[in-house]
Structure 1
Amino acid sequence: MKLITWNIQWGLGVDGRLDLARLIDDAKSIADFDVLCLQEVSDNFAGLQANGGENQFAEIAALLPGYTAIEGVALDVPDGNGGRRRFGNMILSRLPVAQVLRHTLPWEADSTRNMPRLLLEAVVNAPFGPVRVMTTHLEYSSDKIRRAQVEGIREAHRMACDRVALPRENGPGTYARFPTARSAVLTGDFNMKPHDPTKLRLSDAYDNGVPALMDAWQVLNGADAHPPSFCLYDQTNGQPHCCDFVFVTEDLAPRASRIVYNQDIQSSDHQPVLLELTR
C-alpha cells in the first residue's frame, strides 16, 4: 500500500499560484498512490490568499476519479450570505473503504488564535487486510490545545482497538457491522517538531495491549534526523523543520518498507510524505 500525506495549504504554492490540478499531478509524480491524506482543504473561503472560494473537496474528488473521496470538515461557519464556509482534511482511497469516522478533537479554551480540529478515520481494505487510516491537522499556536488533541487521538485509537477486542452485536440497517482493525496509520501536520514531548506522547505505550503508534521515519531510519517538511522554500514561519509525520501501529512496523520526505515539490508550503507498506 502506497500512502501520501500532505498539508496542501489549499493548493497555494510557494510561487503564490493556487493550482489543485498541479498539486495532484505532483502527488502522482511521487508515486502511484493508493491513499492520499490531505490537510487544509477549503470550501467557500475566498478570503484565503489566491482562493476564489471554490469547493475544493469537490474539485479534488473530481481530479481523482476512481478514488473514494472522504471529507473531514473541522471548521464549519456561516459565510454571512446564507452559505457555509468549511475547512479541514480529506482522505482519498482507491482501495475499498468500509466505515468512516470523524472525531472532533478536544478544543480547550486558550487566549491564542486557534480553531477546531478533527481526526478523520477511514477503514481501507489493504492487500494485507483492513487498516484504519487516520489523518489530522493539530493546532498551530497553542501547546495546551495540542496536548489535549494528542490525548484525543490516543483515546480514539484505544477505543477502536477495544471495539476489535469486544465486537458489538451485528444488526440490520444502521446497526450493521463493518470490518475494522487494530492496525492503523496516523498521518498529518502535527505542528510540532520531532522531539517535542507532546509529539513523543503519541507513541507512548498503552497499558491494555493496544498497539502503540510508532513514527515510521524512526522505524526505518532509527535516530537519523527527520528531513524538513515545512519552511523549506519560504521561511516566513521559521527555519526549515519537520512537523509532518506518519505513524504506524507496532504490528504494521515490519511492513514499512520506505518513507520519503519529498524535498523538491513546491506546490504547497509543506512537503509531501510517502509511506510504503509491503504485503
Structure 2
Amino acid sequence: MFKLVTWNIQSGRSPDGKTDLDRIIACLDRLCSFDMLCVQEVSDGYTDQSENQFAMLRERLPGYTGIEAIACEAAGAGTGADGGQHALRRFGMMVFSRHPVLQALRHSLPWPPEPEVMSMPRMALELTVAAPGGLLRVTSVHLEYFSQRQRLAQVERLRELHREASHHARCPPAPGRGPFAVPPRAMPALLAGDFNMLPGSPEHQRLLAPFSDGTQPWRDCWQLAQPGRRHAPTVGLHDANPNAAAPFTFDYVFASADLAGRVRRVQVDASEQGSDHQALLVELDWGAA
C-alpha cells in the first residue's frame, strides 16, 4: 500500500505556540511509515530561533529524498554594520520520497495584485517518482489564505499544469542529452496540500470540474474513500481560544480519475500534538504488480 501524508506544519509551531520540529517528527512516526510526505510552511530564518528547517527536516528523515520549493525569499529585518540587511530568509514547502525521484518541477502560482489584502507568493512543487506500482506524479501546494480571487487564479493554474502534464505523459519528449534528456511525466497523479478552501466552495468545485480535452479530472480522495460523509476537519481541532471558529477543512489530497479506484483509506490525525493543522493520510493501492 502506497501511503502519502500531507501536513501544514506551520514552521513546527504547535497550538501552544512552541516551535519543536522533533515533536512534528514524533507525530509522523506515530501516524504511519509513509512513502511520501508533503509539508507546507517550512521556514529558514522566520522563527524566533532563525533555524533552517529545510536542513533540519532532511537530517530527521534519513532514507528519504527531500526536495524543497521556496515561495518567499526576502531580506530579514536586521541590518549589518554597513547598513545592509542580513541574509535572506526563506519560506516554502518540502516533499520527501522513499522512492526514486526522477524529476522535480517548481511552478510559481498566480499572485494578482490586491493592495487591500495581505498576501504572499505561492508555489506548487511537482515530483515524478518511481513508485512500486509505476510512475506517479505528486504535486504539493499551499494556496492563498486571505484572497479568494488569488486562490481561484491559483486553482485555475493548477488545472492548466495538470492538463499540460497529462499531454506530456501521452506524448513523451523526443530523445535528448543533458538537460534535454527529460524524464517522463506520469499520467497517474496526486495533488496534496493546504488549499485554504472549504469543501463545496467555488474553488473546490472548480478544481474538480471536468476537462474538455480528455484530461483525467481531479477527484477528492475523502469523497472517494468515504462517499456521502462530511469531510473531517483539519484545522482548529485544538484551538484554546474561546472565540475561535469551529474546526473546519482546508487540507486535501486529490487523485486523478484514473487512480480513483485505487484509493483505499483517508485518515485525519486528530492528535493534539504538532501544528494547528492536522496531518492527512491517504493510502493508495499502488504497489508492485
Equivalent in 273, 276, 287 of residue 266 of structure 1? 273
- 1:238 is matched with 245
State the alpha-carbon separation in 2 of the partners of residues 175 and 237 from structure 1: 52
2-side partners of 1:238 and 1:153: how far apart?
29
Equivalent residues in 2 for 1:6-45, closer than 5 Å: 6-45=7-46
Partner AA of 2:11 in structure 1: W
* Matching residue within 224, 230, 234 for 1:229: 234
> Match of 2:140?
135
Alignment-derived partner of residue 62 in structure 2: 65
1:167 to 172, 191, 194: 172
SS in 2 for 1:225: coil
Gaps of 5+ in 2: 80-84
Whether 1:105 and 2:106 are equivalent positions in the alignment is no
For the 8 Å contact 1:132–1:183, the answer to whether it is kept is yes
- 2:82 aligns with none
The residue identity in structure 2 corresponding to 1:6 is: W
TM-score by length of 1: 0.96
1:250 aligns with 2:270: no
Is 1:55 aligned to 2:47, yes or no? no
Equivalences for residues 63-212 of structure 1 within 5 A: 63-79=60-76, 81-110=85-114, 111-212=116-217
Deviations 1:169-204 (CA, angstroms, capped at 9, x unpaired): 121111112132111100111111111111111111
Q: Give distance in 2, aligned partners of 1:265 and 1:95.
A: 30
Question: CA shift at 1:82, angstroms?
Answer: 3.9
Read off the aligned partner of 1:114 and give its amino acid letter. Answer: S
**How many angstroms does 1:127 deviate by?**
1.1
Aligned residue identity for 1:172: R
Give the deviation of 1:237 after TM superposition: 5.5
C-alpha RMSD of the superposition: 1.2
Q: Deviations over 1:30-74 (max 9, x none)?
A: 11001010000001114xxxx311110010011001100000111
SS at match of 1:260: strand
Give the Cα–Cα distance (whole angstroms) in 2 for the partners of residues 240 and 216 of structure 1.
Answer: 20
Deviation at 1:266, TM superposition (A): 2.3
* Deviation per residue, 1:65-109 (Å, 9 max, x gap): 110000011111122534111111110011111110000001111
Where in structure 1 are there 5+ consecutive unaligned residues?
Answer: none
Q: Between the two proteins, what is the percent identity of the paired residues?
A: 44
CA distance in 2, matches of 1:71, 1:197: 29
Residues in 2 aligned to 1:204 and 1:127: alpha-carbon distance in whole angstroms = 30
Write the distance in 2 (CA, Å) between the matches of 1:170 and 1:56.
38
User: In the alignment, residue 148 of structure 2 is paired with which amino acid?
Assistant: D
Amino acid at match of 1:266: Q
User: Matches of 1:198 and 1:14 in 2, distance apart?
Assistant: 27
| Count of residues in Structure 1 that have an aligned counterpart in Structure 2 | 275
CA distance in 2 between partners of 1:156 and 1:88 (Å): 19
Q: Which amino acid aligns with 1:145?
A: Q
Runs of 4 or more above 6 Å deviation = none
Q: Partner residue of 2:6? A: 5
Task: Answer whether contact 1:9 1:268 (CA < 8 A) is retained.
Answer: yes
Letter of the 1:139 partner, please give it.
E
